[in-house]
Amino acid sequence: MSNPLFRSIPSVNDLLETQPLRDLVDRANRTVVVRGVRTFLDKLRDEVKQTTQNWQVPSPADLAQTIADWIREEERPTLRPVINATGILLHTGLGRAPLAEEAIRDMSAIAGGYTSLEVDLETGERSQRVQAVERLLRHVTGAEAAAVVNNNAGATVLALAALAGGREVIVSRGHLIEIGGNFRLPEVMSASGATLREVGTTNKTRIADFATAIDESTGALLKVHPSNYVISGFTEQPTLAELVALGKERGLPVIDDIGSGALLDFQRFGLAGEPIAQESVAAGADVVLFSGDKLLGGPQCGILVGRRESIDKISKHPLMRALRVDKLTLAALAATLRLYEDESRALRSIPLLALLSAPVDNLRNRAERLAPQLAALPAVAAAEPVSDETFLGGGALPTQVIPTWCVALNPARRNATEFAAALRVGSPSVFVRIKEQRVMLDLRAVFPGQDQALVEAVAALTPAERAQGESAEVGG
Ligand SMILES: *Cc1c(COP(=O)(O)O)cnc(C)c1O
């Protein structure tokens, strides 16, 4: 039974003759546009079927424009650059660490062609794909050997499987953490084929607890940095040095998952207590694990450094093949690590470190300059510079605040949540934080070169309607 209303819907061919869709065919490609029109009309017919009231067919011109806008939206890449005005420097939802220019340059230099990935340029023979990066990791961390995999969760599974598969791994109950995104240590351990042997209590574990748990089934001792939470008060955990001494005495490898991968002391930014990779290596851990895209400020990857014997076992494990990284990651990681060979260069060139180093007075100046520009925009009722505090994010140093400056906005005719949503879908897309009903544009993670784009993003918002009720008000 055909609905009579269907006949008033223009045909695909008629729609393709309209200006908006002809323009789109010129700019995009015909197949995409035709598919888009068909899909849209199917949806429209479904809607018509479900409507009981009188349904008004839009004019062909209006319908064509709506379809063209819809197709354009559908065809936009889902991975888009965004401005991070949340203040959270390692925002997992926004891709954690931005890459240094040097890393981007080296990635693009090799992306479009063939590379010397598995060929030793001198001998012409195959060589380890991580050879160059491994050398850099050894230099930077002081370790005997290194390996790189897809992320730190992968590094953990691999290290446990290679060093303690089928055996027990002893870990403190205070270290059985969950990192965001379903990384729960007990589950990761069971995926590796190692058996979890918990010792101590949530707040107190002593080296003696580890010592008494060791038996013939023990494969390794594990220490995990509880990156995203702190236990304070009546607490105790064995030091890495104690675990290393115990491991040596009993012939067991010690795995130290330090998480964030700081390669320099973050105390300089006022952030205390983050383990440094070099120190774990120096303290004698057999394997030290960390992420590449947290405090290191490089690409997503998991890094394993430590003793040659342990790293060799890890590199030869079949899971290594499943978790290995691609040439782009290796290029970006190598370029980032090279920056660490000169600390002042690292601080300047690695975006995370540069953003953290920005003096609070610079942020204040920028906030003071931006506030009047933003206050003058139609979507904004009021804007003022305010000092505030933010966090590192990415599951690192959850309790330590970083001083910052924001522009605090009172939207015109929207509430803060509606304003934030409008900015998110705008172009460029901007992510903000909300505090006490105000929209906070936090400058800590906004690159100075993005200030103008931030103003433009807010300028592009109409002083629009509240979400429901009133009709749209265009322009302004
Ligand atoms: C973040 C983190 C992980 C997971 O690292 P990914 O690179 O996100 O896989 C594992 N262990 C610790 C201690 C961490 O902080």
Question: CA torsion, points 172, 174, 179, 183, in degrees to nearest 10?
Answer: 40
Tens digits of per-residue pLDDT, 4-16? 777 778 899 999 9
The finding on whether 395 has its CB within 6 A of some atom of ligand 1 is yes
Question: Rounded to two decimals, what is the model's pTM?
Answer: 0.86
Tens digits of per-residue pLDDT, 264-295? 999 999 888 889 999 999 999 999 999 999 99
Given the CA of residue 292, which atom of ligand 1 is nearest to it?
A: 7
Ligand 1 pocket test: which of 179, 230, 258, 280 has the largest number of ligand atoms within 8 Å of its C-beta?
179
Task: State the DSSP H helix or E strand holding residue 360, giving kind and residue range, or none if neither.
Answer: helix 360-375
The finding on whether 224 has its CB within 6 A of some atom of ligand 1 is yes
Using the structure block, give the residue that is written with the tokens 């925009």: 377
The region that residue 256 occupies, defined by phi over 0 for left and psi between -120 and 50 for alpha, beta otherwise, is beta
| Phi–psi pair at 69, nearest 5 degrees | -60, -40
Mean pLDDT of 318-344: 94
Q: Which domains does the chain have, with CATH numbers?
A: 7-75 (no CATH), 82-92+357-475 (3.90.1150.180), 101-349 (3.40.640.10)
**pLDDT of 152 higher than 50:** yes
Quick check: 300 and 96 in contact, CB under 8 A?
yes
Tens digits of per-residue pLDDT, 428-445? 899 999 999 999 999 999
Given the CA of residue 302, which atom of ligand 1 is nearest to it?
A: 7
Tens digits of per-residue pLDDT, 235-248? 888 999 999 999 99
DSSP letters for 84-151: EESS-TT-GGGTSSPPPHHHHHHHHHHHTS---SSB-TTT-SB--TTHHHHHHHHHHH--SEEEEES-
